[in-house]
Amino acid sequence: MSGWDIADIPDLAGRTYIVTGANSGLGAVTTRALIGAGARVIMACRNEVKAHALANELGERAQVRRLDLADLGSVREFADGIDTADVLINNAGIMAVPHKRTADGFEMQIGTNHLGHFALTGLLLDRIRERVVTVSSGAHAIGKIDLADLNWEHRRYQRWAAYGQAKLANLMFTYELQRRLTAAGSTKLSLAAHPGYAATDLQSHTESVQDFLMSIGNRLFAQSAEMGALPTLYAATSAEVEPGAFYGPGGLRGLRGHPVRSGSSSASRDEMTARRLWELSEQLTKVNYSFGRK
């Protein structure tokens, strides 16, 4: 896959993709590239105004549907409106925000980044024909899953530790989903991707001086959102992907470059914790997965 780029995306005519957070940042780049290759994209977005602005630019194959991952009622309503799709891309995310709660009382980062996508995937899995791609981060390496206090109800909240936990949860979910699909005899794929250090508006919502500092870092060190989206696009479209694989930039310690197979922390490979996280996620979201042999 050396040097893989948007030009290497195959013809996607007749295929349908769901992209969460499709109206900005990596999601917008991903959506634009998929549309450019002929796909139909369901843009699953909380900000419908921004989503419609992009959809109007991209044409009739871009369709906007409201989805707020921080509200399980919205997740269920969105899922009820989907008939079928080839690929689900769990792209939306928040990073290092102040201590807040979702509509269902979850800590905002684990609730949005992991539990919202966990519920969405479970509700849609029987209608996804080919693969699920979940966007994680190199920051998963600083994460630790606290099963006794996943929602920061007893610990002093630390925004970056909470982000690391959520991104680690994304990756553990990807691996565990693949294990369960394989065990069920399903040919569906579960894959993960990360953008390295890409300049997007993800870094502008900490509501602190860190927004300013990260804006400087974006200008000086980050690669473009177009490059950052390549691992997701590779995972979502390439016929050469491996089941349960994690893809990210291949250069400068995984921070920039074209997509390659990425390594991940030993914690992300902890199968016992992954099973327990899965069970807890089902309990919290009240979404129980059903695996068919497809």
**Catalytic site positions:** 163
Helices (H), the chain: 25-36, 48-58, 72-80, 108-109, 117-124, 159-183, 210-220, 225-228, 230-237, 271-285
Beta bridge partners of 223: 198
A 10 A CB-CB count for 101 gives 14
**φ, ψ of residue 235 in degrees (nearest 5):** -60, -30
Cα gap 209→212, rounded to integer Å = 5
What is the rounded radius of gyration, in angstroms, for the C-alpha atoms of the chain? 17
Residues 6 or more apart from 275 whose CB is under 8 A from it? 176
Tokens representing 288? 């129980």
Do 291 and 180 contact (CB within 8 A), yes or no?
A: yes
| Inter-CA distances, 259 with 36, 202, 247, 250, Å | 19, 20, 6, 6
In 59-162 the beta strands, taken as DSSP E runs, fall at 62-66, 85-90, 128-135
